[in-house]
Amino acid sequence: MKITKTQLKEMIREELQNITEGESGLDKLDVKLPGQAQRYLNKAVDAIKGANLNRRKQIAALAKVVDALGLDRKDLAKYMIKIKKEL
């Protein structure tokens, strides 16, 4: 089952809104990433924030990350539920 672009955008928009409401929420996940992965993740986030992208382009960047990870709709929904429980 493939996810359509509009469905992905909607899900990402909802998750971004939920995460921004509680900015310290991701710290509650208690998951340590390897140092190299954390550095690259921080660089990517800083690059996206520093580029002053509008909301649509931020969502497009996040959609590319989700696509690069090879997540389908079911996986993405499953992970979103897990993240919501932890937040």
Cβ neighbours of residue 40 closer than 8 Å, sequence gap 6 or more = none
Identify the residue whose tokens are 């710290």: 27
Look at residue 41 and tell me whether its pLDDT is greater than 70.
yes
pTM of the model: 0.55
> Model confidence over 53-87: pLDDT tens digits?
898 998 888 888 888 888 888 888 888 888 777 76
Section 2-24 average pLDDT: 74
Under 8 Å between Cβ of 63 and 8? yes
Give me the residue spans of the domains in the chain.
5-25+33-86
19: pLDDT strictly greater than 80: no
Specify the higher pLDDT residue, 84 or 21: 84
